[in-house]
Amino acid sequence: MTSDNNIYTSPLSERYPSPEMKYLFSPEMKFRTWRKLWIALAESEKELGLDITQDQIDELKAHADDINYDVAKAREKEVRHDVMSHVYAYGVQCPKAKGIIHLGATSCYVGDNTDIIVMSEALREIRKKLINAIDQLAKFAEEYKALPCLAFTHYQAAQPTTVGKRATLWLNDLVMDLGDLDYVLSTMKLLGSKGTTGTQASFMELFNGDEAKCVELDQKIADKMGFAACYPVSGQTYSRKVDSRVLNVLAGIAQSAHKFSNDIRLLQHMKEVEEPFEKNQIGSSAMAYKRNPMRSERMASLANYVMSDAMNPQLTAATQWFERTLDDSANKRISVSEAFLATDGILELYINISNGLVVYPKVIEAHLMAELPFMATENIMMDAVKAGGDRQELHERIRELSMEAGKAVKEEGKPNDLLDRIAADPTFNISKEALQKVMKPENYIGRSVHQTTEFLNGVIKPILSANADQLGLTADINV
């Protein structure tokens, strides 16, 4: 006895991706597309003069969507061939057209063309979600573009930035991903009808050696399936480098998302910024007070999978023999679909997290002010020089006082008292009140605010304006 609970089900079928992405890689999408391709082939062959009637075409169209899966499944048990099983099942429903289904074609006509169609549709779905992640982050960057925060190099306190300026770094990665995606999508072509080794020999036979009709057949099929063209040359399959290029785009998105998730997790540890945490959400089974960044952690986990999965089509493309070898099939079925499903899940998380980020300005200010005295020392030294001090002497004295204050912070757990030490040192001849005036975070953030505004106006807004019809997606997390 079998049930849903005692057979393996992929988490990528249930937990992470959207229904839209799951449908694109469903049997229904595949087999409906096969039938559309058979109709396109028959129509094109009829238009080019083969003895195919309109009645036959109409019969094929009448049964384009009501696929008799039971017949195909039973036939596949007998013949061990998925394409010929579905040719047979289609013929059972279309007795008048039975003899012209798949005429002149090889299995890759439906298999490979469908893969290109599905990947192209899936890239468009990924693109829509990428645009919406950019939109949410842009709103966040705009809102917090002037909020100073401590910046880090080597995860050590460095010159301040702003919360919004940091968000532009995440945004810029996604913009690069969008450029890569758009380029690869613009190059996607159908395999067309190339025959068993890519020479179109079977179609040369059908068209009595008329090469022009063979060329026109490819273009007609491309037009009917919504593509600009077919690849000009191929073996039996389209080059498996296409799959590698597509998954490299997905791996690029995964890289960007992983970097974002790392930063959010570190910020949540510091209690400066948190991912969304729902009212009834449980952070830990043991520690009830915890607010674990589970969305960001899941994003990183899925991103690791997609980045490693990109190796699969690379190996497949590298090891194909001559015009075709079937050791691509099993790997390709798994690696391509799951890369898309996982990337879809990553972007669902990205939209959800960036739409609900919680910022704690007081904590951010406290962390910044604890380090700002060290960063203000150059300005303090310049003011002391203006008041008649010796630059070299002042530099050495600030170095000594900074070491003393740092030691007190690290070894004794005391607050940073560098300003008190400087005010008490006659070398500087400056009061604590005067020093406090120097301690304005906005004086140390450089062009952060203007850089953020320029980036949002010059780079992000044109993207969002050009894709306004894609905006408005929300993402709910299943578990």
Residue from 154, 269, 285, 465 carrying the catalytic annotation: 154
DSSP string, 129-174: HHHHHHHHHHHHHHHTTT-EEEEEETTEEEEEEEHHHHHHHHHHHH
- Asked whether the beta carbons of 438 and 383 are under 8 A apart, the reply is yes
Q: What is the C-alpha separation between 87 and 90, in angstroms, rounded?
A: 5
Q: How many CB atoms lie within 10 A of CB 122?
A: 24
User: How many degrees, rounded to 5, is the angle at CA 462 between CA 457 and CA 467?
Assistant: 140
For residue 475, what is the DSSP state?
Answer: -
Phi-psi region of 414 (alpha: psi -120 to 50; beta: other; left: phi over 0): beta
Sign of CA dihedral 410, 413, 416, 420: negative
Q: What is the C-alpha separation between 427 and 360, in angstroms, rounded?
A: 39
Distance of CA 62 to the CA centre of its chain: 38
- Asked whether the beta carbons of 52 and 45 are under 8 A apart, the reply is yes
Q: What is the C-alpha separation between 324 and 234, in angstroms, rounded?
A: 10
User: Residue 154 catalytic?
Assistant: yes
- Asked whether the beta carbons of 374 and 422 are under 8 A apart, the reply is no
- Asked whether the beta carbons of 30 and 20 are under 8 A apart, the reply is no
Residue from 10, 13, 81, 284 carrying the catalytic annotation: 284
Among 183, 194, 182, which residue's Cα sits nearest to residue 219? 194
Active-site residue numbers?
Answer: 154, 284
